[in-house]
Amino acid sequence: YQAKRAESGTMIYDASTDEHDVGELAMGTELRRALENEEFVLHYQPKVALADQCVTSVEALVRWQHPTRGLLPPGVFLPALERSGLMQPLTRWVLREAIRQAASWRRAGMPLAVAVNISPRSLLEDDLPARVLAKLLAADLPASFLELEITETAVMTDPKKAALVLAQLNARGIKVSIDDFGAGYTSLAHLRTLPISALKIDRSLISHMLERDEDHAVTEALIGLGHRLGLTVIAEGIETDEVLDRLTQLGCDEAQGYLISKPVAPDALEGWMAARAVDQGSPSAQVS
Ligand code: C2E
Ligand code: MG
Ligand code: MG
Ligand code: MG
């Protein structure tokens, strides 16, 4: 039962047992096959501007349409995929698919920028900017329709290299956000020097900001800091009207979360966008 073993291999990480090694191997094989068979799909979650409720872009989030286990979230397979050395081919596929989708939406009269999550290792690959540009050209999509989300880890692992890659992306007109901000240890002095356009405040701070004074204080400070540095500030993980209202009061620029929309398949996003367009102007068009 390879699948069973693969499952236990990823859930219980114990490098000291043979069981794990077998499970890890089986999982690696399964993931390699999944890449070849294109079993991965992208769901999209909108980000909206708090000032006017307009959709600013959509974030592409990968899922595995597993032949027997159903639709799997990235938390279940990304760690094993990374350990199997398969992050690079996955990143290439995600970029290609997100760019294809954005180009297709644009041709259909739904111009939407798409944000792609880039793992630390993928960011530090030498040819990322060149490959991204080649894909945009092939799809005939302007660079302003692509955004990349990177984490603090990527920036701090190899600051010099990261700065070089970010400069190259910036020169090509590709916007970069720092994802999960406030959950890690980015040196603020370093952040100031990087050509990034947005900070996404981590869900761990946002979800408790109304109950925990410390989280509220940090969130408020991060919004101020981001603005001082000329960055767009985005809050992720908004689940209630109360949190949305407070973030609006604090001057946060954009919001993302289940309250607005969960990540959904492309056709569901099209329906959601169409429904909002119809509602425009009426009170129900407001997310708050
Ligand atoms: P992330 O980039 O910070 O994405 C946000 C995650 O929070 C998503 O989980 C999203 O579904 C979830 N989320 C959004 N709003 C809410 C909310 O209001 N409440 C709650 N409880 N959750 C919310 P998901 O899709 O499971 O992705 C998890 C992580 O996996 C992502 O975190 C990202 O780091 C990574 N990931 C996803 N897709 C890719 C990809 O294509 N490439 C890479 N390298 N990483 C990816
Ligand atoms: Mg993200
Ligand atoms: Mg995030
Ligand atoms: Mg996050």
What the block records as the tokens of 215 is 């989280």
Q: Which listed ligand is nearest to 204 at the C-alpha?
A: 4
The residues, any chain, with a CB within 8 Å of residue 245's CB and separated by 6 or more, are 288
Say if residues 221 and 249 touch (Cβ distance below 8 Å).
Answer: no
Residue with tokens 């398949």: 265
Please state, in angstroms and rounded to a whole number, the distance separating the CA atoms of residues 71 and 74.
10
Q: How far is the CA of 262 from the centre of ligand 4 (A)?
A: 14
Query: pLDDT tens-digit profile of 13-50?
Result: 444 445 556 677 788 899 999 999 999 999 999 999 99
Please state, in angstroms and rounded to a whole number, the distance separating the CA atoms of residues 283 and 277.
13
Q: State which of 48, 57, 61, 149 you would mutate to test the pocket of ligand 1, scoring each by most atoms of that ligand within 8 A of its C-beta.
A: 61
Residue with tokens 């397979």: 77
Query: pLDDT tens-digit profile of 189-218?
Result: 778 889 999 999 999 999 999 999 999 999
**What per-residue confidence (pLDDT) applies to 191?**
80
DSSP letter for 259, please. Answer: T
**What per-residue confidence (pLDDT) applies to 6?**
43
Ligand 1 is surrounded, with C-beta below 6 A, by 45, 61-62, 73-75, 78, 94, 117, 119, 149, 179-180, 203, 236-239, 256-258, 263
In this model, does residue 286 exceed pLDDT 50?
Answer: no
Q: Which of 283, 226, 286 is nearest to 250 (CA)?
A: 226
**What per-residue confidence (pLDDT) applies to 87?**
95
Lowest mean pLDDT among 38-42, 54-58, 160-164, 237-241: 160-164
Dihedral-angle region of residue 96 (phi above 0 means left; psi in -120 to 50 means alpha; beta otherwise):
alpha
Q: How far is the CA of 182 from the centre of ligand 1 (A)?
A: 16
Tell me the residue length of the chain. Answer: 288
**What per-residue confidence (pLDDT) applies to 26?**
84
Which residue has the CA at smallest separation from atom 22 of ligand 1?
237
Does ipTM top 0.90?
Answer: yes
Please state, in angstroms and rounded to a whole number, the distance separating the CA atoms of residues 259 and 36.
35
What the block records as the tokens of 280 is 């425009």
Please state, in angstroms and rounded to a whole number, the distance separating the CA atoms of residues 232 and 143.
18
Dihedral-angle region of residue 281 (phi above 0 means left; psi in -120 to 50 means alpha; beta otherwise):
left
Q: How far is the CA of 18 from the centre of ligand 1 (A)?
A: 32
Task: Name the β-bridge partners of 66.
Answer: 70
Using CB atoms within 10 A of its CB, is residue 162 exposed (0-12), middle (13-18) or buried (19+)? Answer: buried
**What per-residue confidence (pLDDT) applies to 189?**
72
In this model, does residue 269 exceed pLDDT 50?
Answer: yes
Residue with tokens 């302003």: 144
Please state, in angstroms and rounded to a whole number, the distance separating the CA atoms of residues 279 and 273.
10
What the block records as the tokens of 247 is 């973030």
Q: Which of 260, 197, 262 is nearest to 233 (CA)?
A: 197
118 CA closest ligand 1 atom index = 44
What the block records as the tokens of 233 is 């500030």
